[in-house]
């Protein structure tokens, strides 16, 4: 299929009670494994270019890569800018074929976050592109601390920005390597009663798999961002490929051996989000 917008995959997910994975990409090898896994599972997938990915590969190149991969499979694929921090960055993504942008104004005051997110959402919608915003601040493992989402502020943010998806801070943390945490389901339910927009969990790698499934099928959480978990799987596959023969030096040969392990790891992630394979 060709690329689709975030709205086009999240609205059916909210209606039919499942979630879509936003998979954090770093290079060709993981991107290719992600769409291969999604095709095998028969589910949509969101390819995400975050700050570290963009520092390694320019947005115009990433846009072409995402487009090529979307055309190679039979499931919907979203090309998503993750954690865009400026209007110019979001505009560049839109100009280069991205079908969704996430503007992160979560470190700003509520008023500034609303104003800037609304402006970027309007720009995106004029271009036929979706927009995700963040209210509350999702912190980092061993780094900045989170500031939980206030449900009343979330309602105001959703209403005044017009975003297609809203990232919330409810106990989730970026870069968490274990799954020993858990999300504040009470706060999620309170946010749900005041809003009607698909909710997004950043730092999904740290959420226990059973809770991912429960929220995907029983709440308005329609998107889980998964990065660390799959980066760890890639690192393990790479180490195994390198260590099995210390005389090898051809990176194409080595990287080729990461593909199947990454596909299997990704399929395990995707299968937990409640999507029923059609046909």
Q: What residues act catalytically?
A: 82
Nearest to 3 by CA among 95, 71, 93, 82: 71
Task: State how far the Cα of 172 lies from the Cα of 181, in Å rounded to an integer.
Answer: 8
The closest alpha carbon to 129, from 180, 171, 163, belongs to 163
* Whether 104 contacts 157, CB under 8 Å: no
Q: Provide the phi-psi class of 262: left if phi over 0, else alpha when psi is between -120 and 50, else beta.
A: alpha
φ/ψ (deg, to 5) at 169: -110, 105
Tokens of 77: 């694929």
Task: Report CA torsion sign: 66, 70, 73, 76.
Answer: positive
Query: 12: which 2 tokens?
Result: 């059916």
Phi-psi region of 276 (alpha: psi -120 to 50; beta: other; left: phi over 0): beta
């Amino acid at each position: 299929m060709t690329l689709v917008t975030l709205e086009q995959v999240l609205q059916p997910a909210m209606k039919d009670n499942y979630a879509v994975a936003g998979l954090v990409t770093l290079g060709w090898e993981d991107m290719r494994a992600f769409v291969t896994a999604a095709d095998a599972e028969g589910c949509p997938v969101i390819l995400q270019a975050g700050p570290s990915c963009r520092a390694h590969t320019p947005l115009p190149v990433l846009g072409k890569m995402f487009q090529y991969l979307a055309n190679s499979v039979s499931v919907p694929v979203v090309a998503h800018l993750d954690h865009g921090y400026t209007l110019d960055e979001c505009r560049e993504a839109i100009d280069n074929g991205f079908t969704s942008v996430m503007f992160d104004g979560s470190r700003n005051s509520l008023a500034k976050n609303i104003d800037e997110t609304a402006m970027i959402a309007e720009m995106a919608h004029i271009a036929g592109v979706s927009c995700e915003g963040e209210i509350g601040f999702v912190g980092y493992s061993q780094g900045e601390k989170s500031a939980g989402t206030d449900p009343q502020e979330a309602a105001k943010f959703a209403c005044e920005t017009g975003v297609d998806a809203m990232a919330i801070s409810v106990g989730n943390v970026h870069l968490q390597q274990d799954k020993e945490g858990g999300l504040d389901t009470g706060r999620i339910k309170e946010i749900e009663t005041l809003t009607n927009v698909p909710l997004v969990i950043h730092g999904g790698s740290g959420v226990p798999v059973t809770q991912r499934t429960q929220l995907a099928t029983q709440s308005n959480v329609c998107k889980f961002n998964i990065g660390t978990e799959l980066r760890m799987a890639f690192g393990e596959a790479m180490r195994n490929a390198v260590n099995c023969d210390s005389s090898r030096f051809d990176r194409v040969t080595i990287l080729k051996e990461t593909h199947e392990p990454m596909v299997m790891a990704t399929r395990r992630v995707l299968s937990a989000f409640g999507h029923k394979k059609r046909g």
